Amino acid sequence: MKITKFITLVVSIFSTSLFAQTDKNIGVGLHIGDPTGITFKKYLDNEKSVEFIIGRTALWGHGYYASRFNNYDDFDGYNFVDYDLKSAISLQGHYYLFQKDFSIGELDGFAWYAGVGGQFRVLTVKYKYQYQTTTYCWGPSPNQCLYDTKYEEETKIDIDFGIDFAGGMEYTFSEVPITVFVDANLFLEIVNNPFFPRAQSGVGGRYNF
């Protein structure tokens, strides 16, 4: 809960600083995909832009969490069984070095953008695992034994941070101040699974003012 409040505070500070400058174009809306949440975008006057997205991020998959389980010293000697993702919050900040308008035929309002940024993820994961205990052994040496398999669960908080290589395309309607977009980024994790790559994408819309 404290981490979620911290992320909300960071977004509030950034969004407040953006709205304080009324001479720039600002868009606020919904981003659907990975993550799914709120998007804030500010268009700069030098063909650049910045964007912040906060929302629920997607899980990485069974193999990823099995690998993370094996990295915990607490789980040495235990066998990974499954996991439950309790919560997953992502905060992305992108600085688009290129924000270029273009037309398709006689239709104006399109733009493409590309840049870099960072991503901070907090995930609460319940790991399920098993281990064996010896119940009885016989014979001259303990080569023949009976074992009892036990199952346990433990919740861990995973904190990830890394670099985003991001880009996308958008269309702004001429009649109404609404922009629709599609975007994608490559997340290169630094902490705590260095250089683990993951592709993310999404679609959405923003109201501009």
Question: Quick one: pLDDT band at residue 86, thresholds 50, 70, 90?
Answer: confident
In this prediction, residue 23 has a pLDDT band, given cuts at 50, 70 and 90, of: very low
Model pTM score: 0.78
- Structural domains for the chain: 2-208 (2.40.160.20)
CA distances in angstroms from 207 to 14, 66, 118, listed in the order given = 18, 41, 24
34 pLDDT higher than 70? yes
Mean pLDDT score across all residues of the chain: 87
pLDDT tens sequence across 103-161: 999 999 999 999 999 999 999 999 999 999 888 888 776 668 888 999 999 999 989 99
Peptide linkage before 35 cis (omega within 30 of 0) = yes
pLDDT of amino acid 70: 87
Predicted confidence at residue 99, as pLDDT, reads 97
Q: Phi, psi at residue 160, to the nearest 5°?
A: -115, 145
Determine if residue 139 is left, alpha or beta; phi over 0 gives left, psi from -120 to 50 gives alpha, anything else beta.
Answer: left
Torsion sign across C-alpha atoms 130, 131, 134, 139: positive
